[in-house]
Structure 1
Amino acid sequence: MTEQTNILDHIIHLSPPGELDESVRHFRDLGFNVLPGGTHADGLTYNALVVLKSGVYIELISFVHPVEHYPAGSDDRARREGHWWAQKHPGWIDFSFLGVPGVGDIINKRASNEGLGALYRPGKEGGRIRPDGVQLKWVVTFPHGHGLLPAPFFCEDITPRENRVPSQGAEHPSGAFDVGEVTLLVDKNELPTVTRKLANTLGVEPLADQTDSDRVEFAISSPEGAGGVLVLKVGDTTSLPTGTFIDSVTFLTKNSDAGARGEKRTPYGKLTHKAI
């Protein structure tokens, strides 16, 4: 049986250090119910969650302190500078698919069969403690060259996923219930290579009958919903902060109010509500 590796888990929106509360306010103003998250096990980041009925969620995350807070030469300074998101700028910075045991080996085997070499590194354990004291544990698996090409990481739960992604709070004033589209910008000359790598990563081929040569779509699933598409779109990647490829996120909504639809913005990222 082929393991499914195209189930969208969550998308990450970064705030400036110590400014998570500001992002929470912005997302609430955009029609989302935001739940408290907690501090991650490394003590460097903390988060809040926007959970959708589909089981996908948006992770609003911030570093607790800027790099300068930690004494030069200290272990804490080294950990902060070496964090995988240390060089990211605020906005949509990363996205994760739901992991399965040995997901890196599964993807690397697919890629090896096409002569692509190893795409993913070994998994690393992580976790956080919820405000109610419940401890969460997971394994994250990152791609080689993380941040150099548009590729997701994977999150595999050790503790029950429902502890990490609560089902309550999934009703939103905007009517959002799933992610319909995640759009990644890519340079035109990199589109063929990125397409092949993503096909191996997700375990699915691009959707057929696509007439735009500058756009490639992959069908993705949701944990509890129908899912949407992951889009590679040729565009000016210099318009995005270095190491970031997510141009926009489209939320599916059942709200027919015209004011709830269309393009919206946080101070750092673009999103769209699409009524269906």
Structure 2
Amino acid sequence: MTRSIDHVTFTGSDLERLQEAFETAGFEPTYGGSHSNGVTHMALVGFEDGSYVELIAKHDPDATAPWWDEQIDGDAGATAWAVPTDGSDATAARLREAGFVVHGPTEYARERLDGEPVEWRLTVVGEGPQGSRYPMVVEDRTPLDRRTSITEPAEETGIGGLSTTVVGTDEFETTVEGFEAFFGTEPSTITESTGFGARIAHFRDAPVAVASPLDETWLAERVAARGTLPCAYLLDVTDPATVRDRFALDGTTDWNEDVVHWLDLDVPGRLGVREAEVTAR
């Protein structure tokens, strides 16, 4: 499997509560320890393709996190995302040439509990909280399996990995144009989904969708409170029957040419499993 998304982030004020929400939905998060900043710690759900969900909170609620402090304190849930690259210098140069504000690439490193070094380069694109609109760009300098791990194989979950980040915004046209420039592609279709509560731009050749809220929906409330921010993440299914047996589901929404089964996840933002409509029906 080839991953199109490196990882996505859910933030909250209590890491144990985030983990419990994912456990109740059917996942088995693994505690990953403290970040090098000493303020935040994390747990993760790792998938077969190397992508993962990262759950982040602060050790001390009165401390200030260097990243996503407001989102952590406000229990924002879905908060950020990152995509992989094999050439961060070239990617950063291309994005700067396209007119983006680009920070980095910046070198990062840590030592695992077993003494193995983990090294990567991170590029942050755009203003505001990193990864909140445009994804962060990650280049591994050491093997990926040092930075993350598969918490459960696809044969046990029916899930291959992360495929799409849905960015909620009230700046639909501007945000769509931004992703056209970021990924060098155009939307394949634009649909309206009353089930999701949004007008949605789908990109066939990029791991993103842009959702502009319809009136008086959950997404309208979220965008009004949070601004432009990921509102949902989609997972690819490898075995629909295993997904239905394993996970707590909370409804199904038509999604362009497919359907999405939403997980019953007690965290702001949504996490869904995308399935080909012909298979689902």
Superposed counterparts of 1:190-209, under 5 Å: 190-207=171-188, 209=189
The equivalent position to 1:233 in structure 2, one of 201, 206, 211, is 211
Aligned to 1:46: 41
How many residue pairs match? The answer is 241
Superposed counterparts of 1:209-220, under 5 Å: 209-210=189-190, 212=192, 214-219=199-204
CA contact (8 A) 2:12 2:18 kept: yes
SS of structure 2 residue aligned to 1:106 = helix
Aligned to 1:272: 272
Report whether the alignment pairs 1:33 with 2:28. Answer: yes
Check 1:238–1:268 CA distance in 2 against 1; reply closer, same or farther (3 A cut).
closer
Check 1:268–1:172 CA distance in 2 against 1; reply closer, same or farther (3 A cut).
farther
Q: Which amino acid aligns with 1:215?
A: I
Aligned to 2:161: 178
1:1-57 alpha-carbon deviations (Å, 9 max, x no partner): xxxxx93110001121xx323322221221223223232222122212111112211
Report whether the alignment pairs 1:56 with 2:51. Answer: yes
Check 1:196–1:275 CA distance in 2 against 1; reply closer, same or farther (3 A cut).
closer
Superposed counterparts of 1:69-84, under 5 Å: 69=63, 80=64, 83-84=66-67
Q: Which amino acid aligns with 2:21?
A: H
CA contact (8 A) 1:38 1:128 kept: no
Aligned to 1:165: 148
Measured in 2, the distance between the counterparts of 1:30 and 1:220 equals: 30
The equivalent position to 1:106 in structure 2, one of 82, 94, 112, is 94
Measured in 2, the distance between the counterparts of 1:144 and 1:180 equals: 22
Using CA pairs under 8 Å that are at least 6 residues apart, name the structure with larger relative contact order, 1 or 2.
1
Measured in 1, the distance between the counterparts of 2:163 and 2:120 equals: 26
Measured in 2, the distance between the counterparts of 1:234 and 1:218 equals: 15
| TM-score of the superposed pair, with normalisation by structure 1 | 0.75
Q: Which amino acid aligns with 1:101?
A: S
CA contact (8 A) 2:6 2:84 kept: yes
Report whether the alignment pairs 1:146 with 2:128. Answer: yes
CA contact (8 A) 1:39 1:47 kept: yes
Measured in 2, the distance between the counterparts of 1:217 and 1:119 equals: 24
CA contact (8 A) 2:45 2:150 kept: no
Measured in 1, the distance between the counterparts of 2:108 and 2:221 equals: 32
CA contact (8 A) 1:130 1:136 kept: yes
CA contact (8 A) 2:169 2:227 kept: no
Report whether the alignment pairs 1:250 with 2:234. Answer: yes
Report whether the alignment pairs 1:9 with 2:6. Answer: yes
SS of structure 1 residue aligned to 2:93 = helix
Check 1:131–1:20 CA distance in 2 against 1; reply closer, same or farther (3 A cut).
farther
The equivalent position to 2:79 in structure 1, one of 93, 109, 122, is 93
Aligned to 2:103: 121
Q: CA deviation at 1:220?
A: 5.5
Identity, % of aligned positions: 21
Q: Which amino acid aligns with 2:208?
A: L
Q: CA RMSD in A?
A: 2.8
Q: CA deviation at 1:98?
A: 0.9
1:64-104 alpha-carbon deviations (Å, 9 max, x no partner): 222x35xxxxxxxxxx36x1311213201100011332122
Q: CA deviation at 1:211?
A: 5.2
Unaligned runs of 5+ in 1: 1-5, 70-79, 112-116, 222-228
SS of structure 2 residue aligned to 1:27 = helix
SS of structure 2 residue aligned to 1:50 = strand
Q: CA deviation at 1:199?
A: 1.7
